[in-house]
Amino acid sequence: MMKDKLGILNSFPKVILIATPIILVSLALFLIGKRDFFTSNQQAAGDKEKVLSAEARLTKEIGKEIILEVGNPEEGRIRYVLDSAEVLKEIVVKGQAVTAVRGRAFLILNLKISNERKNGIQINTRDFVRLSSLGEEWTAPEIHNDPVEVQAISTKFTRIGFPVNESDKQFKLKIGKIDGDKEEIDLTF
């Protein structure tokens, strides 16, 4: 009986006996890797939702625009739009989640920079906005992506931010050129 079983094994080509376990192990590793890939993508999406969830943020529409004239005005203008503001406990900086310390939060301003010119520009977005809370000193944004590059005849969306006290609900913004007139905007959450 034992000899018959060995005879069957001897009748299979050695290539099949060697290749079958290798193929099965490879297939198993592939399926495990694919499952881990989809699981990690779902977790990353879940993390993003946690950071951007509606419950975690207070948002206010602003819609204030200033026109920046750089160089020859005939070449076109730069539109700097302060679109909206939001208060967040957690933000993403250089691909890493950053959580505010206890008692603090981040006031994030969503900007839209439009370049009507025929050449690209680089702009320091933090130079045009200042923040005051409870009548305190005016502060510049500490969270930014400067310099922001805006390609010719295009619009770039970006953000700037300020660390603030979590208890603060009333702010004043100044928007305008450093050496020019500025407009004050009251912001209440």
* pLDDT band at 128; cut points 50, 70, 90: very high
Q: Which residue has the higher pLDDT, 167 or 9?
A: 167
Query: What digits encode the pLDDT tens for the residues 34-93?
Result: 665 555 444 444 444 334 444 456 789 999 999 987 777 788 889 999 999 999 999 988
91 membership: H or E segment, kind and range = strand 90-93
Cβ burial of 108 (10 Å; 0-12, 13-18, 19+) is buried
**Which residues on adjacent β-strands are paired with residue 84?**
61, 110
- Tell me the C-alpha distance between 101 and 141, whole Å: 18
Q: Which residue has the higher pLDDT, 86 or 32?
A: 86
**Which residues on adjacent β-strands are paired with residue 79?**
67, 114
Report pTM. Answer: 0.68
pLDDT > 90? residue 124? yes
* pLDDT band at 18; cut points 50, 70, 90: confident
Are the C-beta atoms of residues 131 and 82 closer than 8 Å to each other?
Answer: no
Domain 54-188 in CATH 3.20.20.10? The answer is no
Q: What is the mean pLDDT of the chain?
A: 82
- Joined tokens for residue 91: 């933000």
pLDDT > 60? residue 130? yes
CA 129 to chain CA centroid, Å, is 20
